[in-house]
Structure 1
Amino acid sequence: MWGRASAGIVPGFFLSAALVGLVSWLLPGPWQSTLVAGGLVFFPVWIGVFCLAFRFRTGTRAWWAYSAVAATGLAALALLRHLQWVH
């Protein structure tokens, strides 16, 4: 149980940040206009990700899955910035 809970807290935080960041950057208009809304929606998304961590069979699987998806999401954010699709 503690393994899944810690997976929801640590890599779940970065996964939530990547999800909110991707949505904020992919919406039309400047991303600065979505900053407040993204900040408000981040906590409920993080809680949802935390709760979904308990659907995994073990804490190790939750850690691996959340870490991989969070790294992919953050890499997508970095790629968008590198390609200058967002400013």
Structure 2
Amino acid sequence: MIARSLAGVLLGFPLAGALLALLLEGLPEHGANVLIPALLLFFPLWTALMIATFLFRHARRAWFVLGACNLAAFAALALLRMAGS
């Protein structure tokens, strides 16, 4: 149970940040007008990711899925920034 909690805390934090960054990248002016509301969404999103780790039967699966989601989110963010959008 502690391993799933750690997965949610340690991997959910950067994933929530990356998902919000992806959201802001798609908005005009990179979301400068809605930055504060987006930052307010960070904590509920991180909390939802921490709760979602308990849907996994095994901690190893939670670590794997959240790690893969982190890799995918940060890769998409890097590709968007390299494309210059």
TM-score by shorter chain over 0.5: yes
The match for 2:57 is: 57
Structure with greater helix share of residues:
2
- Structure 2 unpaired stretches of 5+: none
% identical equivalent positions:
37
Would you say 1:30 and 2:29 are equivalent positions? Answer: yes
Unaligned 5+ residue runs, structure 1?
none
Which position in structure 2 is the counterpart of 1:78? 78
Shift of 1:58: 1.0
Does the 8 A contact of 1:21 with 1:38 survive in 2?
no
Distance in 2 (alpha carbons) for counterparts of 1:53 and 1:17 = 17
Aligned to 1:13: 13
Instruction: Give the drift of 1:82.
Output: 0.5
User: Counterparts of 1:22 and 1:40 in 2: how far apart (Å)?
Assistant: 15
CA distance in 1, matches of 2:79, 2:34: 20
Structure 1 residue 69: Cα displacement: 0.5
The amino acid across from 2:84 in the alignment is Q
Specify the code of the residue in structure 2 equivalent to 1:45: L
Taking structure 2 as the reference length, the TM-score comes to: 0.92
User: Structure 1 runs of 4+ off > 4 angstroms?
Assistant: none
CA shift digits 1:44-74 (9 cap, x unpaired) = 0000010000000111110010011011101
Give CA deviations for 1:13-68 in whole Å, capped at 9, x if unaligned: 111111111111112x1122232122110000000010000000111110010011
Give the Cα separation in 1 of the matches to 2:57 and 2:43.
25
Other-structure match for 2:2 = 2
